[in-house]
Structures are given as C-alpha cells and as structure tokens.
Amino acid sequence: MITSDQFLCQSLQVITQTLHLSQNIAGVTFLAFGNGAPDIFSSIAAVKNAKHGDASLAFGALFGAGLFVTTVVAGIISIIKPFKLMERPFLRDVIFYMVTLFFAFYVLWKKTITKFECIGFILLYVTYTCIVIISRYIYVWLKKEEKCPLLDSDDSSTQSENSEKNIKEFCKAVNNTEISGSTSDKEELLSDDEDHNCFQDFLRAINPMEYCDYAEAPWYWKAFYIIKAPLLFIQLLTIPLISYERPNKGWNRHLNSLHLITGSLFFVLATNLHHSYIGHLPVLVLALLIGSVLAAIVFFTSSYTPPNYYPAFSFLSFLMSVLWIYIVANEVVNLLITFGIVFNMSNVVVGVTFLAWGNSLGDLITDITIAKNNNPRTGISAVYGGQMFNLVLGIGIPFAISTWSTQEDFKLVVTLKDFMLAAFLAFTLVSTFISMPILKFKMNRYFGCYLLVLYGLFSVITLLIEVSVIPTPVIN
C-alpha cells in the first residue's frame, strides 16, 4: 500500500499528464490500476503459488475485499453522511460488477477457467471503459446542444473536491516551505554553495522519516514510521519519486542519476535474470553498464532544474513500483499460506479475512475520509467501480498468465466456502441494486445498518464453517 500510494499513483498522474489524457479516461485506466494494484498483484501471486488448482486464496481475497467494501465501507459512509446517489453511474457500476461476479461464479461452477475466458474478463473491463468514455462524450455533446453549462447533480461533489484539493495543496505548500524553503531561496543558496546544497538535497530526498509528519504524529504513527523506514529507504533509492506538487517537481540530479543504476540492477534481480547471460556477458553486468552510461549522460547534461526529458522518469517509476508491489505481494501471500498451515486455516478463509482486510484498509480510510469531507458520492463511486475493476482484472490477468504460460486450462478446486462467499457478495449487490430505486437512491442510516448486519452475518457463518459446525465438502 505504501508503494502504491507514494510512488505508483504519483507516477501514473504524471504519465496521464504527459500523454495528455482526459481525467475521465485516466480515471478508469491508469489511476484505477494504481488504486487496484495491490489487489491485482496479490491475486497474481496467489495464483502463481496455487497448488493442485487450489486458487481459493485469490478468489477469497477478491470476493472478501468486495464484500467488505460494499458492506462495511458503504455502510459506514451511509451512516456518517447520508446522501443521494448519482443514479446512472451507480446503476452502471453495480450492473457491471454483478455481471463480472456471475461470470466468476460460472467459472467456479464448472471448476475450470480457459485462456479465452480470461480474455473475456479483460474484454469486460475494456467494454466498461468504453461505455464510461462514450457516455461522457455523449453527455458533453448533449449539454453543448442545449447550450447549458456542464452542471448536474455532481456540482456539490465537484466543489467539495476542489475545496479539499485546495486545502491539501495549501498544507503541502506550508510543509514544503518549512522543510525546504522556497524555490527562489534554494536557487540563491545553490549559487553560493552548489555542491554543499546539492548534497543536502540528496540526503533530504532519501530520508524516509518525513521529519515534520513524524514530530506531530501520535505514538502509534511514529512506531509505524520507524517500522516502514528501512523498506522506504530502499524504495527511495530504486524508485524515482516524481510529482508536480513537490518542490522542483521531485527532481534531484544526483538521486535521479543514481536511480538509473539502481533501477537497472533491481529490474534484473526482481525478474530473476541475474543468472542469465547474453553471449558470454552476465545480464547483471550488462544492466550495470547500461545504467551507468545513462546515469552519466543524465548527470552531465542536467542541472538543478528538471530537464525536458524528466517526465520520462515517470515510466521508470511506474515499472519499479509495479515490481516492488509484485515482490511484496508475493511475500505476503507466501506468509499467509504459511500462517494458514500453522493454524490449520483454509486458504479461502485466510484470503477473505487477513488478505482481504489488508488490501481493503486503504479503501476504508480513504473513502470514509472523503465522506467526512462532505463528498460521499466520490467515496461510494470508488466502492463499486473500484471493486469491479479489482475483480475483473484480478481474475483475468493472473489466470491469463497461468493458462498462456502452461498452454493448459486451469483446473479449480472448489469448496462450499467459495460458493458461500460468492453468494453473499451477489446477495449484497442484488439487494442494493433493488433497494436503491425503492429508496429513491438515498443511502440512509437504516440501509447502512443493514449492510453492516449483512457482513456480521457473513462473518458468523464463515466462523461456523471454519470450526466445522457447518460441513464444507469439496464440490465434485
């Protein structure tokens, strides 16, 4: 989650600006991938480590996260800030989510997933993306025909988003001033003692403690900062931190030059190519040579200000972030599998609890914070649209990799727990889909309580199944 928030999402924002993508297209492509990357890569790792077709950890995490977010997160948002939904986007997202879920249920029922069905999941996401983009263009065209300003029921949310963004930018500006001083001050100091200040900037850029946040944080956040510091330090040395909101756009001549060397080496190590040779030359040595040449070119052709080619570093940042997320997800999955073996817990229960909760923690905090800031519509949009994205690509991509690499269909081992989990998620979506028109699309406190009770009921049944009060035979 740290890699996704601090590096991947930042690089994706720069990429979308560099490619001049509209916010609508960027939101359902690059930014959606940034938010869902931990879930998708956890699923890839779970399928990769699946033994004898037991991919319950992957399905458990995807279904469990979907159920948790659509009940607990949506329920808390409804209780904290009752509001009226935007009808068409809500219906679109829920319908696509249900179609994806029923497709997944079909795959579980026949206990086999083929490469063409994997492509079907991915095409389902492509269809969703096209509908979002086309509907937006149609809406804009209709408004132009009516010669009316682009105002609808979203106005209040847009204003809230802008207000929140302005506040965040102001806070960032204050923090940047306190930590680093203004840009003009830096340039003046640089002219006086360039080498000394460049070295100070380099040390500041690789400092993982974020001193101002650490000093003002409560004790438990301080403990978290200390725990994550070693890992974040290594990430800062391998991933370019690019953001147009940071001082000097995040550019640091010494550190970014170093990234070309460390990034090349990290890519070879992360992809297990360090034992390979090209001719008689080890790939690791070749990567070191290429990285060193590129680093020398960047270092001797740049200065304190970001060069024109600086946005290209966002693609390096994206690649390094993806590799980091995959490595961490793979280790977490292996740890959870070991945890399940030690405590005699099934993979589906481990997936639906620890892995699903861990992947959904960011959604819980982010969506509830957005709702508290008088913008519940944005939070609820992330609930359904985001989870649909995670499910359709969390199944499509991992099983596509597996089936195309082995050239065989993936045989699934399915138990009653898998069907029970899918059924609970389906019931949640269908009941929400039916209830909202009846309630005139108003997410009120009563409906929020209903969603929380639904998750509580699911938790009780899951516990009874795990302790064998309810038998769970393998489905033949």
pLDDT at 466: 76
More confident residue, 82 or 470: 82
Average pLDDT over residues 137-160: 60
Contact 392, 122 (CB under 8 A): yes
Alpha-carbon gap, residue 476 to 465, rounded angstroms: 19
Mean pLDDT throughout 382-389? 84
Kindly report the length of the chain. 476
The pLDDT confidence band at residue 334, using thresholds 50, 70 and 90, is: confident
CA angle 415, 49, 407 (to 5 degrees): 90
Of residues 150 and 469, which shows the higher confidence score? Answer: 469
Of 196-210, 237-251, 295-309, 391-405, the poorest mean pLDDT is in: 196-210
Query: Is pLDDT of 155 > 50?
Result: no
Of residues 157 and 65, the one with the higher pLDDT is: 65
pLDDT value of residue 348: 73
Summarize the confidence of residues 216-232 as an average pLDDT.
82
Question: Token pair of 179, please?
Answer: 């930590």
Question: Residue 382 corresponds to which tokens in the numbers above?
Answer: 């992330």
Which stretches of 217-326 are assigned E, i.e. beta strand? 277-278, 281-282
Please state, as a whole number, how many other Cβ atoms lie within 10 Å of the Cβ of residue 460.
10
User: Is the pLDDT reported for residue 439 higher than 60?
Assistant: yes
Lowest mean pLDDT among 9-13, 32-36, 221-225, 241-245: 32-36
The pTM of the full predicted model, rounded to 2 decimals, is: 0.71
Q: How many CA atoms lie within 13 Å of 287's alpha carbon, on the beta-carbon side?
A: 22
Helix (H, G, I), strand (E, B) or coil at 410: strand
pLDDT of residue 100: 94
If you write DSSP's letter for every residue of 173-217 in order, what string do you get? HHHHHHHH--HHHHHHHHHHSHHHHHHHHHHHHT--S-HHHHHHS
**What pLDDT sits at residue 162?**
41
Highest-pLDDT range among 195-199, 323-327, 438-442, 463-467: 438-442
CB 39 within 8 A of CB 271: no
pLDDT (mean) for 103-126: 92
Q: Residue 129 is which amino acid?
A: T
- Angle between helices 30-48 and 313-342 in degrees, nearest 10: 40
**Beta-strand pair 277-278/281-282:** antiparallel
Topology classification of domain 2-147+198-251+305-466? A middle domain of Talin 1 (1.20.1420)
Q: Tell me, what DSSP letter sits at residue 113? A: E
Residue 111's region, left for phi above 0, alpha for psi from -120 to 50, else beta, is left
Residue 278 phi/psi, 5° resolution? -115, 105
Per-residue model confidence (pLDDT) at position 184: 42
How far is CA 285 from its chain centroid?
33
| Tokens 């939904």 found at | 85
Band of residue 446 on the pLDDT scale cut at 50, 70, 90 = very high
CA–CA distance, 374 with 114 (Å, rounded to integer): 45
pLDDT of res. 220: 78
Average pLDDT, the chain: 79
Q: How far apart are CA 283 and CA 265, in angstroms?
A: 9
Q: pLDDT band for 210, please (50, 70, 90 cuts).
A: low
* Mean per-residue pLDDT, 167-172: 40
CA angle 243, 248, 251 (to 5 degrees): 70
| Whole-angstrom distance, CA of residue 110 vs CA of residue 59 | 15
More confident residue, 265 or 187: 265
What is residue 160's predicted lDDT score, i.e. its pLDDT?
A: 38
Mean pLDDT of 352-381: 73
Q: What is the pLDDT of residue 292?
A: 95
Q: What is the pLDDT of residue 154?
A: 45
Average pLDDT of 421-431? 93
Region 152-162 average pLDDT: 41
Instruction: With cut-offs at 50, 70 and 90, classify the pLDDT of residue 149.
Output: low
**So what's the pLDDT on residue 276?**
81
